[in-house]
């Protein structure tokens, strides 16, 4: 099957490098991700295969190999573990931990803006993954909701477990050469930092900017800048002030506007020093909203496993629930 144009669904039921392809999980710009069975260990994995039409494209092949090496190098509870990567019969593949859940893109499309505590929990986990990558001198460069997988968490205090995936266009931050050639932009324009647009050096603070766009979207349902035209969108990232969160989502305190403004600063030096610092500032600002901004705890009557409340139990407010719904 090497080099042939094969429709992705034609692979279902076939065996590739010791994995039996069982079904399609999703597809992106350069690959299709399948649910597959590792026939040696009997476990289910997510098998990412380079789309056949790209197998002869050297730039895409290099990007794919780079992704697997970079992702495999980092071990972190909020980064998708990579098991194996390689090439067989002209097909490039990467086998990784199968995350049961949904990507954040699907979650937002289905639910709209998230409850504030859920958005903060997800932001905190994403921030710890990104800071860990940045400590390894790695920049993700494609932080967006589709690359954030949300699985069910361990208990009511931790209703979601977030995994960051796709270090596909990550590279050593000190190296200014990459696979993105002039005129060929790799990534999504909704989350792109201004310095990437102008070709200035990119580091962890560019991921922080993209993450702030994602956080804005989890809280309001849309990224900060929306324009009809790609060029207008690029212009907005570079020059327009972001809209105020508190206006887009009433109930959010004005202090949070300042936090987002700083995370979305046009100049990296003006942003927070780390992603976790950004989330800490956001939590503090949100706490000013009073109980609505407070993360539910075991003493809250609506939380599973909570201590029994004295008197009538009120209906759980809409913001209190886990975002994945249904029993574990």
Ligand X SMILES: Nc1ncnc2c1ncn2[C@@H]1O[C@H](COP(=O)(O)OP(=O)(O)OP(=O)(O)O)[C@@H](O)[C@H]1O
Residues in the site for ligand X, rule: CB under 6 A?
25-31, 33, 46, 80, 96-99, 103, 142, 146-147, 149, 165-166, 168
Annotated binding site: 48
To ligand X, the closest distance from the beta carbon of 161 in angstroms equals: 12
* DSSP character string of 90-149: TEEEEEEEPPPEEEHHHHHHHH-SPPHHHHHHHHHHHHHHHHHHHHTTEE----SGGGEE
Q: Which does 31 bind (CB under 5 to 8 A by kind): Mg ion, ligand X, none?
A: ligand X
Distance, in Å, from the CA atom of 176 to the CA atom of 166, rounded to the nearest integer, reads 20
To ligand X, the closest distance from the beta carbon of 243 in angstroms equals: 25
Looking at the Cβ atoms of 125 and 147, the one nearer to ligand X is 147
Distance, in Å, from the CA atom of 321 to the CA atom of 136, rounded to the nearest integer, reads 35
* Cβ-Cβ contacts under 8 Å for 214 (sequence gap 6 or more): 104, 123, 126, 143, 144, 145, 148, 191, 223
Sketch the per residue contact string, 21 through 40, with Mg ion: x for CB under 5 A, - otherwise.
Answer: -------x------------
| 274 touches 124 (CB < 8 A) | no
Distance, in Å, from the CA atom of 114 to the CA atom of 163, rounded to the nearest integer, reads 17
Check binding of 147 to Mg ion (CB under 5 A). Answer: yes
190 is catalytic: no
Looking at the Cβ atoms of 44 and 240, the one nearer to ligand X is 44
To ligand X, the closest distance from the beta carbon of 181 in angstroms equals: 17
List the strands of the sheet with 101-103, edge to edge.
101-103, 148-155, 158-164
To ligand X, the closest distance from the beta carbon of 26 in angstroms equals: 3
Distance, in Å, from the CA atom of 173 to the CA atom of 179, rounded to the nearest integer, reads 13
Annotated binding site for ATP: 48
Q: Which does 206 bind (CB under 5 to 8 A by kind): Mg ion, ligand X, none?
A: none
Looking at the Cβ atoms of 75 and 269, the one nearer to ligand X is 75
Q: Enumerate the β-bridge partners of residue 104.
A: none
125: left (phi over 0), alpha (psi -120 to 50) or beta: alpha
Q: Which does 46 bind (CB under 5 to 8 A by kind): Mg ion, ligand X, none?
A: ligand X
Q: Which residue is nearest to ligand X (CB)?
A: 28
CA dihedral for 36, 40, 43, 46, sign (positive or negative): negative
Residue of 142, 166, 190, 207 with catalytic role: 142
Distance, in Å, from the CA atom of 271 to the CA atom of 258, rounded to the nearest integer, reads 11
- Within 166-195, which residues bind Mg ion (CB under 5 A)? 166
Distance, in Å, from the CA atom of 242 to the CA atom of 10, rounded to the nearest integer, reads 45
- Residue 272, SS3? coil
To ligand X, the closest distance from the beta carbon of 186 in angstroms equals: 8
Sketch the per residue contact string, 254 through 283, with Mg ion: x for CB under 5 A, - otherwise.
Answer: ------------------------------
Looking at the Cβ atoms of 131 and 166, the one nearer to Mg ion is 166
Q: Which does 30 bind (CB under 5 to 8 A by kind): Mg ion, ligand X, none?
A: ligand X
72: left (phi over 0), alpha (psi -120 to 50) or beta: alpha
The stretch near Mg ion (CB under 5 A) out of 2-10, 164-172, 256-264, 288-296 is 164-172
Looking at the Cβ atoms of 6 and 287, the one nearer to ligand X is 6
To ligand X, the closest distance from the beta carbon of 176 in angstroms equals: 22
Chain residues that interact with Mg ion, rule: CB under 5 A: 28, 147, 166
Report, as residue numbers or ranges, the catalytic residues: 142
């Amino acid at each position: 099957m090497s080099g042939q144009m094969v429709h992705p669904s034609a692979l279902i039921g076939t065996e590739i490098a010791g994995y039996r392809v069982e079904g399609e999980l999703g597809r992106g710009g350069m690959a299709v991700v399948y649910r597959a069975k590792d026939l040696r260990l009997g476990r289910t994995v997510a098998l990412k295969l380079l789309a056949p039409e790209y197998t002869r494209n050297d730039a895409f092949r290099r990007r794919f190999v780079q992704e697997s090496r970079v992702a495999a190098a980092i071990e972190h509870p909020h980064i998708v573990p990579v098991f194996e990567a390689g090439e067989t019969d002209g097909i490039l593949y990467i086998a990784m931990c199968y995350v049961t859940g949904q990507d954040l893109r699907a979650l937002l499309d289905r639910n709209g803006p998230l409850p504030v505590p859920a958005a903060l929990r997800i932001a905190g986990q994403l921030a710890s993954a990104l800071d860990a990558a940045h400590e390894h001198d790695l920049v993700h460069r494609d932080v967006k909701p589709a690359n954030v997988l949300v699985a069910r968490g361990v208990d009511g205090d931790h209703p979601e477990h977030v995994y960051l995936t796709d270090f596909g266009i990550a590279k050593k931050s000190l190296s200014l050469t990459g696979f993105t050639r002039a005129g060929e932009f790799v990534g999504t324009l909704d989350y792109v930092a201004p310095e990437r647009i102008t070709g200035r050096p990119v580091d962890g603070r560019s991921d922080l900017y993209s993450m702030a766009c994602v956080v804005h979207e989890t809280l309001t349902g849309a990224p900060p800048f929306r324009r009809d035209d790609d060029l207008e969108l690029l212009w907005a990232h570079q020059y327009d002030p972001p809209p105020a969160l508190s206006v887009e989502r009433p109930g959010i305190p004005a202090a949070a506007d300042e936090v987002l403004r700083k995370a979305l600063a046009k100049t990296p030096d003006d942003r927070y020093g780390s992603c976790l610092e950004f989330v800490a500032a956001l939590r503090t600002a949100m706490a000013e909203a009073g109980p609505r901004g407070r993360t539910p705890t075991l003493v809250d009557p609506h939380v599973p496993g909570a201590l029994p409340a004295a008197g009538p139990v009120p209906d759980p407010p809409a913001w209190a629930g886990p975002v994945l719904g249904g029993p574990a």
